[in-house]
Amino acid sequence: MSDDLLADWARKSWIESANNPACGFPLQSLPYCVFADEDSRPRIGIGIGDQILNLQLCARSGLLEGLPEPVQRACEAHTLNRLMACDRPGHASLRARLMNLLDSLADQSTRDAVSTALTPKSATTLLKPVESSNYTDFYASIHHATRVGRLFRPENPLLPNYKYVPIGYHGRASSLVVSGTAIRRPSGQTRPDPQAPPAFGPSRFLDYELEVGLFIGEGNSLGEPIPIREAGEAIFGVCLVNDWSARDMQTWENQPLGPFLAKSFATSVSPWVVPITALAPFRMAAARSSEDPSPLPYLFDAVDQHNGAVDLTLEAWLSTSALRTAGLGPHRLSQSNLRSLYWTPAQLVTHHASNGCNLLPGDLLATGTVSGPEDSSAGCLLELTAGGKQPIVLPNGESRRALEDGDQVILRGFCRRSGFPDVSLGECTGTVLTTC
């Protein structure tokens, strides 16, 4: 780790709540969001401690003067799309300015000016941060692929292409919703009895998927791939993703073209977009074993293999109506880590653009369910219950093989390393509506 990076991470803020190492929103993170306050108009902000800094007000009051014009204008938009479309030097200049404004070394007049643009998080509503034109979902966890594969092909769980090609499919961007949005149980075709014809009705095996999302920054032109060495910097920031899945519909419709209506009814994203550069201290070597085939040359970069994974703890929690009625908190279903992905974020980006496909600013690439090697680190109920055959028992005696009406799924993500403040991705929540 460079001295510059260490010096950056030693800096403190004059906003005291940001200096608590466990707060998750230190000076070095400054995740972007779109929020509404009392007059309900959406504005771009950044999280710092227990506050949100209103970037529209910063731009209008001259605090961003001297930054590139497109960056200043983008800070007055109602989503992060225009900011994401700015170039990387533009993003870096904005972050450097914001860190200086909030640094404990800032003078009193700066603090006074910045204070007028601060709002307590608790007084705001967080909105959908980005209007993504495209959403792609990968299948980058080898543990997820193996455990799910075993349910259907016990002798041969991992397909022969897995260690060569990052598997993915094109998801549905129009049904991306922000954390907190209620989830309507989908109806669709299922065939519970293989000897009987299919029927249409509400899904009886609704599931969540614990994932991380990568938002694309500037993007690439049609026909121009993104070399692996540049792919890490093509990512603007990360969020949490819950790829809600109707397993019974999926099983019936999946062959031969993959997921369709079993996934496209809703995908939740967390409201915070953590800049990719804020994850620098938590980088680590890719999980690929030395016994595995080397990535094909277009997916191989020694630096990426050495430092392209991210040590990011992920958790899934469940709160049921009965737990809430009894005054009991959510139950943790599992804990996993992004570092166990078989493919690095940069490899996912490079592979996506390798055929010349153009990635647009704000496009969302999700990793796929992030599961670890232990059964307790599985990132969805399909795995945790062995296909619904082994229900989970909750502390109040309830059991679950699938989500029921009133169930709330809470995803959490955070980076933690000794000597550094935590960097939180916040939460991504969704409650299954009661079916009429």
Query: Could you give the residue numbers annotated as active site?
Result: 144
Encoded amino acid at 132, one letter: S
Closest residue by beta carbon to Ca ion:
243
CB of 392 to Ca ion, least distance (A): 20
Evaluate whether 337 touches 419 at the Cβ level (below 8 Å): no
CB of 254 to Ca ion, least distance (A): 12
CB nearer to Ca ion: give 137 or 315: 137
d(C-alpha 436, C-alpha 434), whole Å: 6
CB of 435 to Ca ion, least distance (A): 23
Candidates 120-128, 137-145, 177-185, 403-411; binding stretch for Ca ion (CB under 5 A): 137-145
CB of 267 to Ca ion, least distance (A): 8
Q: Per CB under 5 A, which of residues 364..393 are in contact with Ca ion?
A: 368
Encoded amino acid at 130, one letter: V
CA distance readout (Å), 336 to 146, 209, 256, 267, 370: 15, 12, 30, 20, 7
CB nearer to Ca ion: give 102 or 216: 216
Evaluate whether 435 touches 35 at the Cβ level (below 8 Å): no
Query: What is the token pair recorded at 435?
Result: 């079916």
CB of 241 to Ca ion, least distance (A): 8
CB nearer to Ca ion: give 244 or 282: 244
Which H or E run includes 212?
strand 210-216
Check binding of 243 to Ca ion (CB under 5 A): yes
Residues that bind Ca ion (rule: CB under 5 A) add up to a total of 4
Site map (CB under 5 A) of Ca ion, residues 261-280, x = contact = --------------------
CA distance readout (Å), 229 to 64, 295, 356, 435: 31, 14, 16, 48
Angle ∠(318,324,326) on CA atoms, nearest 5: 125
Among the listed residues 137, 315, 398, 407, the single contact to Ca ion using CB under 5 A: 137
Q: Provide the sign of the torsion angle of the four alpha carbons 341, 345, 347, 351, taken in this order.
A: positive
Residues forming the site for Ca ion (CB under 5 A): 137, 209, 243, 368
